[in-house]
Amino acid sequence: MKNEYTPIGELGKKVGEKVNLRGWIYRTRSSKDMTFLVLRDSTGTVQCIVKEGAKGFDDAQKALRESSLMLSGTVHEDPRAPTGIEIRVNDLEIVGWAETFPLKEGTNPEVLLDKRHLSIRSRKISTTLKIRSTILGAIHEFFRERGFYEVQSPSITKMACEGGSTLFKLDYFGEEAYLTQSWQLHAEAGIHALEKLYCIAPAFRAEKSRTRMHLAEYWTAEAELAWCTHEESLKLQEDMISHVVQTVLKKHSKELQELGADIKKLEKVKGPFKRVPYREVLEILKKDGIRMKWGDDLTGLQEKALSKHFQKPFFITNWPKEAKAFYMLENPKDKRTVLCADLEAPDGFGELIGGSARETDNKRLMANMKLHKIDPKPYEWYLDIRKFGSVPHAGFGLGIERLTMWICNLDHIRDAIEFPRTINRVYP
């Protein structure tokens, strides 16, 4: 067989021609003198007909679903075929014989997760992974076009960026260390050299809760900017989300439809997004008969109820100091609050982004650490930054799986990543 292979997605341009294909059997059905198989590659599926007399016919009859193969044949238009195209096969060779595939429609979700190394071949997961790849590409494009430098940050640290309750402890050559919750604190050092930074990396949270929104290892796109105000940071977040959503729509409208995403609603995702002070959130929820007191974080149910009031993503701004991390800048207009915002997705898909302006005053940082009961020792270097030409700055972190989950309309965050890590799953 020749070395040139046509991706299945490009067969529409090759009607009447001879082609070589390679892929996996998606479905197969045989009669005495004919085998119908649907071949799958990463670009699509196509129906192939192998008649008695074709080279490899006997193997085609025996091969089970997910066997890999190479074939050559001619491309025919056929309105009865699901994609309007059919391959009449002359020559077929099995590359990897498959045993009986253990997964089928209706398989228990836990089994699908135990066999994740196989279930990623499913249409739903592979389509989601393609969209996720486009999302990451669009984020890189967004930052690079705006003159940001991409940096990489350590995954092993001595610090609890987002508080001690979700830290993964690590034995670092006899010393206690942690898997990082966020690159942010190191990024705050970097802006004094590069001014505008971004980083796309894994973050780790020992989340004890089993929710459809939490992973123990997730990916985050974080940005940090020197000379940046809180409002400028919000504008940048708006532009980034709009750019990503519009890029995905342009490239994947067919796939989004397949996943059941609301395309009309996604088309409207363009800035500005509403800014709702935390104080107003309490009032909105109260009117809905939902109690939440000053200082509380939103539960999933509260997020869902609140999001019913908004068609597009919306910011919750000016949170109470005690509800947020020690590094956030005090709000000069209301000292009980900090200049921060969470960007919430519509339809109860939860928090997409957390961000804030940063405190640059070491006295106030020390006081905040005391408030949050943080030992200042591992943070000495962080405080040191402020002693050498500190500047106003701000930044934010986006959860890649949350964004993917919302855009693709997924029921559970685990389907937004290839191999999910949750409280009860670190295999495969």
By CB under 5 A, name the binding residues for Mg ion. 354
Residue 34: DSSP 8-state: E
How many angstroms separate the CA atoms of 180 and 169, rounded?
A: 10
Between residues 238 and 401, which has the closer beta carbon with respect to ligand 4AD?
401
Backbone angle region of 295, left / alpha / beta, with phi > 0 → left and psi within -120 to 50 → alpha: left
Between residues 24 and 326, which has the closer beta carbon with respect to Mg ion?
326
Q: Which does 157 bind (CB under 5 to 8 A by kind): ligand 4AD, Mg ion, none?
A: none
How many angstroms separate the CA atoms of 248 and 133, rounded?
A: 10
Q: Which amino acid is at 220?
A: T
Between residues 40 and 324, which has the closer beta carbon with respect to ligand 4AD?
324
Q: Shortest gap between Cβ of 187 and ligand 4AD (angstroms)?
A: 7
When binding is defined by CB under 6 A, the residue of 186, 196, 205, 393 that contacts ligand 4AD is: 205
Q: Taking CB under 6 A as the rule, does residue 182 contact ligand 4AD?
A: yes
Q: From the CA atom positions of the chain, what is the Rg in Å?
A: 26
Residue 241: DSSP 8-state: H
Q: Shortest gap between Cβ of 406 and ligand 4AD (angstroms)?
A: 10
Q: Shortest gap between Cβ of 221 and ligand 4AD (angstroms)?
A: 9
How many angstroms separate the CA atoms of 304 and 347, rounded?
A: 6
Q: Which amino acid is at 298?
A: L
> 388 is written with which tokens?
């050498």
Cβ-proximal residue to Mg ion, closest one = 354
Q: Shortest gap between Cβ of 397 and Mg ion (angstroms)?
A: 8
Q: Taking CB under 6 A as the rule, does residue 396 contact ligand 4AD?
A: yes
Q: Taking CB under 6 A as the rule, does residue 351 contact ligand 4AD?
A: yes
Do 181 and 215 meet the contact criterion of CB atoms below 8 Å apart?
Answer: no
In angstroms, the Cα distances linking 13 to 6, 10, 294, 399 are 10, 6, 61, 39
Between residues 305 and 343, which has the closer beta carbon with respect to Mg ion?
343
- Span near ligand 4AD by CB under 6 A; candidates 107-115, 269-277, 292-300, 399-407: 399-407
How many angstroms separate the CA atoms of 42 and 127, rounded?
A: 9
Residues 6+ apart with CB under 8 A from 235: 271
Q: Shortest gap between Cβ of 90 and Mg ion (angstroms)?
A: 58
Burial per residue of 174-186, b for 16 or more beta-carbon CB atoms within 10 angstroms, e otherwise:
eeebbbbbbbbbb
Q: Strand pairing of 18-31 and 149-150? A: unpaired
When binding is defined by CB under 6 A, the residue of 73, 190, 313, 354 that contacts ligand 4AD is: 354
- Strand 168-172: give its sheet, edge to edge: 156-157, 175-179, 168-172
Between residues 218 and 278, which has the closer beta carbon with respect to ligand 4AD?
218
Q: Taking CB under 6 A as the rule, does residue 215 contact ligand 4AD?
A: yes
Q: Shortest gap between Cβ of 416 and Mg ion (angstroms)?
A: 17
Q: Taking CB under 6 A as the rule, does residue 190 contact ligand 4AD?
A: no
Backbone angle region of 151, left / alpha / beta, with phi > 0 → left and psi within -120 to 50 → alpha: beta
Q: Taking CB under 6 A as the rule, does residue 326 contact ligand 4AD?
A: no
List the x/- string, 124-163, binding to ligand 4AD by CB under 6 A. -------------------------------------xx-
In angstroms, the Cα distances linking 92 to 55, 282, 344, 360 are 6, 65, 52, 68
| Residues making up the chain, counted from first to last | 428
Q: Shortest gap between Cβ of 233 and ligand 4AD (angstroms)?
A: 9
Q: Which does 91 bind (CB under 5 to 8 A by kind): Mg ion, ligand 4AD, none?
A: none
List of residues contacting ligand 4AD (CB under 6 A): 161-162, 181-182, 184, 205, 207, 214-215, 218, 220, 222, 351-355, 395-397, 399, 401-402
